Each structure stands twice: as structure tokens, then as C-alpha cells.
Amino acid sequence: MIANLTLQIENQPGFTLMNYSQAPAIQDQLAQATKEIYQEHQQLLKSVNFEQLDNLITEINSSNKIFLMGMGRSGLMMKAAAMRLMHLGFDAYVVGETTTPAIAEDDLLITGSGSGSTKSIVRAAKTAKEAGAKNICFTAVRTSQLAQLSDHIIFIPAQQKQELNTQLSAQYAGSLFEQALLMFFDAAIQVLWKSGGSSSAELWQRHANLE
């Protein structure tokens, strides 16, 4: 009876019998993918100029208001950075939010764009420059229009999202750049936190409580 019922179910259109013996293979693939991503960041680390990140910390500490901008996944990384800057007590804003004020002299715009050619980000950099603010960009293209508009660049030697046949990364599109953007900005946040002398408890008081 049970055997007949099983046979009837298996014969239903679209039915696929789960093969539990495949689970270890998937686990191995996940472990290998994680290892590859980790190794890509180890290689990337050898090519990063930390003097450029030093400039980022100097400009953050000397600016009145700090504006951050990126698009797509890079934009999410910049939002994460803006949150941490707020936790540290900086006057930080995400470009495009309804409560973001005007940029002005002695302010700082920090942008993240692998290509350095995203039109909205380039326009924002031009506006910041015209207002007398400083520009810093994270980019994978040193010669990009965004880099040329910036007072400082932080060069991340990773593929752009448009480069589908590159040897820089086995990951899809701009994943390595976006991951590195979060990692290096978090490194800057860590240095700012430790040098600022604030305790974890002090930072926690600035965490959102309207959730």
C-alpha cells in the first residue's frame, strides 16, 4: 500500500525526489566558495594603499557634516558606514534621504562607485565641489571622472560590475569591490572609535530605539 502510494506521488508531473546524498556536495561547494572569497580579499589586501585610508580619517575628523553616497549594493555599504559614523557621534547623512540637508563649505562627501562614472554620483561630487566641500571616493578606476573630481581617492583594485570576463575575481559583477568597500570603511570606523575614546556603552546610546 505505502509502496504503491509512493510510486503514485513520484509519478506526479513536476515531482522531484530529494536526494539527501547531495547535501555534503553542496556543503563542500559552500565551503569552497567562502574560501575563494576570503582568498580574494587576502590578495586585495596586498594592493591597498593605507595612506589613502589615513586621508579618509583625517577628513572625517576635520569636517562639519559628512555626506555618504553610492548606488545599488555599493549604496547599501555606504549606508552602513553612515550608520556607524552616527554611532560614533559624527553628523552623518545619506545623500537622497528626505531629511538630508544641503552640503556646504567645510563639509565632506564620501562616495563609493566601482566605475567612478555613475552619473548621479558624479553630479553630486560636482555640486559638493562647487559648494566648497571636500570629496573622497572609493573606486576601482583611478582615472574615472569621479576620481578626477575628488580631493582624495581610495583605490580598490577589484573588478567593476560591467567587467564579466576578468581575472580579478571569480565572483559575479562588483561583489569583491562592494565587500571591500564595507571592510575598509569598517577598518576606518574601528580606528576612529579606538582613537576617540568612547566606550561601547556610549555608542549604544545612539542606536535607534524606535524599532
**Residues tagged active-site:** 178
Question: What distance in Å separates the CA atoms of residue 143 and residue 93, rounded to the nearest whole number?
Answer: 27
The set of cell numbers assigned to 92 is: 552623518
Give how far the C-alpha of residue 209 lies from the chain's centroid of Cα atoms, to the nearest Å: 25
One-letter identity of residue 54 = D
In angstroms, the first-to-last Cα distance of the chain is 54
Partners of residue 136 on adjacent β-strands: 110, 152
Is 66 in contact with 100 (CB distance < 8 Å)?
Answer: no
Each residue of 30-65: b (16+ CB within 10 Å) or e?
Answer: eeeeeeebeebeeebeeebeeebbebbeebbeebeb
Q: Within the chain, how many helices (H) and strands (E) appear?
A: 8, 5
Is 111 in contact with 70 (CB distance < 8 Å)?
Answer: yes
